[in-house]
Amino acid sequence: MKEGLAKLHTLRDNLKNAIAAKYGSLEEFYDLIYALESAQYTATVKNKDAVVSNRITAIMNEIEDDLENMGAFDGRDITTAIISDFTGIIAQQYAERIANYLKSRQ
């Protein structure tokens, strides 16, 4: 299980139920945050599109505020765990590219 999804499953029942009620399920919520971070990465790193990046940041802030209104102490703690799953994959991809590049130079 992904660490971000595992963190969602450790939340208090009332918070898990509120997330599921609003977003369909914990898995669907995870997928939403993951997709937003993927879009943020594309907008920021690949396309250099500040307008899209700023809009995604605003949406994430709204979701984090919503989590706090549902009873989370800090909504960012929840989204950060999911974002870490995405960034871990990106870091792994870069590490593989570097390793391949270094291998090709031998």
Mean pLDDT of the chain: 90
User: Average of pLDDT values for 66-87?
Assistant: 92
Q: Is the pLDDT of residue 80 over 70?
A: yes
- Please tell me the predicted confidence (pLDDT) of residue 95: 80
Residue 106 banded pLDDT, cuts 50, 70, 90 = confident
User: Average of pLDDT values for 85-91?
Assistant: 77
CB-facing half-sphere around the CA of 50: CA atoms within 13 A: 0
Contacts of 14 (CB under 8 A, 6+ apart): 71
Total domain count, the chain: 1
Contacts of 60 (CB under 8 A, 6+ apart): 33, 36, 40, 79
Residue 93 banded pLDDT, cuts 50, 70, 90 = confident
| Enclosing domain of residue 100 | 3-104
pLDDT digits (tens, 9 = 90+) for 29-70: 999 999 999 999 888 888 888 899 999 999 999 999 999 999
Interatomic CA distance for residues 19 and 26, integer angstroms: 7
Surface-to-core class of residue 29, CB atoms within 10 Å of its CB (0-12 exposed, 13-18 middle, 19+ buried): buried
Contacts of 47 (CB under 8 A, 6+ apart): none
Interatomic CA distance for residues 64 and 77, integer angstroms: 9
